[in-house]
Amino acid sequence: MNNEDPVLLHTAGRIRHITLNRPRAINALTHTMVLRIDEALAAAEHDDSVTAVLLSGAGERGLCAGGDIRAIYEDARAGGSTSVDFWRDEYRLNARIARFPKPYVALMDGIVMGGGVGVSAHAGVRIVTERSRVAMPETGIGFVPDVGGTHLLASAPGELGTHLALTGDAVGAGDALLCGLADHFVPSEHLVDLTRDLSGSATPAEVETTVRRYATAPPAGELAAHRDWIDACYAAASVEEIVDRLQNRGVPAAKETAETILAKSPTALKVTLASVRGARRLGSLEAVLDQEFRVSCAAFTRPDLVEGVRAQIIDKDRNPQWSPARLAQVSSADVAGFFEPLGDRELGLAGDAPATG
């Protein structure tokens, strides 16, 4: 095992460890990493000596900050297509994780955003800590939640998922549990001991028992106290109406949220709302990933993605010039264009999904 590899693999007891190993980039995912994880899962699935898989991130900052945004930016500017190839394999990996037949334990410690959510929040056993900050922040860079994120957010209670999708807000452990993005809270100081004890688990039941032995009540979240105005405002039919309700609710936090939303890409906001609502109708993760692939391919060709990454990541002036600049300028036809079928370029996961009874 080369410690310079972006994905480290080793086995302890009957647990196969997968460690994302780009700590200086908060373990941001590259195409190579996605393929390496997929290969590791395929091998672990068919290895009778492996009881479970454990995903973690190297360094102190987080599990994974998402995809390699700089690489996507450069690819989009150059008119390339490597990002589309990356998404195709990344979304297939997300689906594999969701249907992995053995316990897949994800340590969602620290920053877990975008693609980091994709490799962890579809897991069978999802562990957050007091350091966890979980988010799908795509609207802030002119993109739309992907990696199955719209499926997860569409399943959150009430309109909490719509709120998180449009604002891109990061949540802590308590709210991650409330929104169905995690299963257990374990204090970070116990992760080393938990990892050690998991190596002695000989069966899936023992994996679950070990995790529950370390799990405790999480710190209080923030979203539950705001459910009243969140559910009422985000039930609106359009982003414009959502913003109007937030501004006129008479609640300071709601008004601040409206300002947060209005700073995002108008196009990304409208497509995101349509994506989350569409995910609710589609139901299965595979069908949602197919939809997200269409949306991502369309977003890759639009100006807001390059401009958003420039403003937030490259130049860091935090002053994106969105095109179009206002919600009213984004038509229904503009939004519909993001969902157009791709013909022979479709991801096609829904057709691969196992039948359910």
146 flagged as catalytic: yes
3-state secondary structure of 224: helix
340 catalytically annotated:
no
Q: Which token pair is 181?
A: 């993005």
The question of whether 149 is a catalytic residue gets the answer no
Beta strands in the chain (DSSP E): 7-12, 15-20, 52-57, 62-64, 104-108, 111-113, 125-128, 133-135, 184-185
Among the options 57, 67, 114, 161, which is catalytic?
67
How far is CA 269 from each of CA 167, 210, 266, rounded to the nearest angstrom? Answer: 9, 41, 5
Partnered with residue 185 across adjacent β-strands are 128, 216
Measure the CA–CA gap between 7 and 58, rounded to whole angstroms. 9
At 176, is the secondary structure helix, strand, or coil? Answer: helix
> Which residue bears the tokens 């002053």?
319
What Å distances lie between residue 251 and 164, 221, 233, 244, 254, CA to CA?
Answer: 18, 19, 11, 13, 5
Distance spanning both ends of the chain, measured CA to CA = 42
Distances 222 to 50, 76, 177, 233, 257 between C-alpha atoms, Å: 39, 37, 12, 17, 14
Given the residues 75, 109, 138, 169, the one annotated as active site? 138
Which of 234, 232, 336, 352 is closest to 290 using CA atoms? 352
Q: Which residue has the tokens 């998402």?
A: 66
Catalytic residue (one of 68, 109, 146, 286): 146
- Which one from 57, 115, 124, 172 is the annotated catalytic residue? 115
> Is 118 an annotated catalytic residue?
no
Kindly list the catalytic residues. 67, 115, 138, 146
